[in-house]
Amino acid sequence: MNTLLARPTCPHRLPLAVPVGWLFLICVVLAPCAPAQNDRPPWARNSKTSNASSSSTDNSSDPLQDRAKIKVKVDLVNVLVSVLDEHNRPAPDLPVDAFQLLDEDNPQTIAVFEKETQQPLDLALMFDASLSTQLGQPAQREAATRFIQQVLRPGDRLAVYAVDENVTQIAAFSDNVARLQDAVKRIPQGAGTSIYDAVFLGSRGLARQGADRRSVIILITDGGETTSHADFDTARREAVRNGTLLYTVVIRAIKNENGRNTAGEHALETITDTTGGAVFYPDSTSQLGEIFDRINRELRTQYRLGYYPTPRGPADTYRHIEVSVVRPALPQVPSASTATVDTSTPPAGYSVRHRKSYYTGLP
């Protein structure tokens, strides 16, 4: 017995026994109820009608018609800015007119301004677990456990990573302080050091945590790159693409440059500066607590500047940003010799850190 494919049928049902003549007449009368070509499956459609339908579809997607549709995608660019005084302390309470923001050298209007951003934190705390860092690891872990207790606030999340020849997540992103502290104590000893992989994979992991959050990597390492699959450009590009803020703590067991991997240190300095973070070189592991305190204060006193790029750059490109602190214009006092106030000179002792570029995204 052959099995036939089920086909669309007319809703009118015929009697089981109908004379042939009447059958012909009924089919003629009921022909209008036959299914329309567009309602039939592809194998049952008339090729001519199908082609016409296809042609109609093609016309509906005419580029000239598409141009009439609103396709402009205007995205707010957020820039986190750290302003420090001459003592490397956060400088709070600056007004919005104290900031000048350039996008590809074009002045921008600041649409969003927060003196202390309320965006929650996602932190990737990454430890170099290679053999070369073994001596300093007990002090590093002790300082990190205190930092976890100090830095996490409602809405924040932190994950713990071990970096050696691999990059391994020891604890997933959470706000469970006890679990995260325990993960720091359980970091296994490794061999090589994959610094570029750490920045690359850490940035990707942070990007998956959601929008409208701050993505931060805190990397503790001796700066010696040996086993990464990613290279310098790949790591830096991924950090910029995902808006990652990198803080690097370089533990130098050897103070003399002749015995250190200074190329790795310089590479980390470049990536860190590009993201708007900071590099720290403690003289001893006893200074780690103070460094973590500085990072925590900075994260809690960052300014948030948001703007809509004008003009907007092409899709799939990297755009340069420059933020500076200028002297706010003083009120003009009418007089015979009114002097112009110079707003281009930054206040003495202020330093500004921010990400140097952003990715425009795909079209």
pLDDT at 263: 80
Asked if pLDDT for residue 107 goes beyond 80, the answer is: yes
Minimum mean pLDDT among 42-56, 82-96, 111-125, 171-185: which range?
Answer: 42-56
More confident residue, 124 or 350: 124
Map out the domains of the chain with their CATH numbers. Answer: 77-115+304-331+342-359 (no CATH), 121-300 (3.40.50.410)
Confidence at residue 363, expressed as pLDDT on a 0 to 100 scale: 86
pTM score, whole prediction: 0.75
Per-residue pLDDT of 213-266, as tens digits, reads 999 999 999 888 999 999 999 999 999 999 999 999 998 766 666 556 678 889
Can you state the angle between helices 232-241 and 195-207, rounded to 10 degrees?
Answer: 20
| Residue 335 pLDDT exceeds 90 | no
Residue 353 CB burial class (10 angstroms; 0-12, 13-18, ≥19): buried
pLDDT of residue 258: 59
Count the residues in the chain: 363
Q: Reply yes or no on whether the pLDDT at 192 is more than 60.
A: yes
The pLDDT of 11-18, averaged and rounded, is 42
List the single range of 56-60, 167-171, 258-262 with lowest mean pLDDT. 56-60
Q: What is the mean pLDDT of the chain?
A: 80
Q: What is the pLDDT of residue 255?
A: 62
- How far apart CA 34 and CA 40 sit, in angstroms, is 10
Choose the weakest-confidence range: 58-62, 91-95, 97-101: 58-62
Dihedral Cα 244, 249, 253, 258, nearest 10 deg = 60
Q: Say if residue 47's pLDDT is above 50.
A: no
Omega cis (within 30) before 63? no
* E strand or H helix at 323: strand 318-325
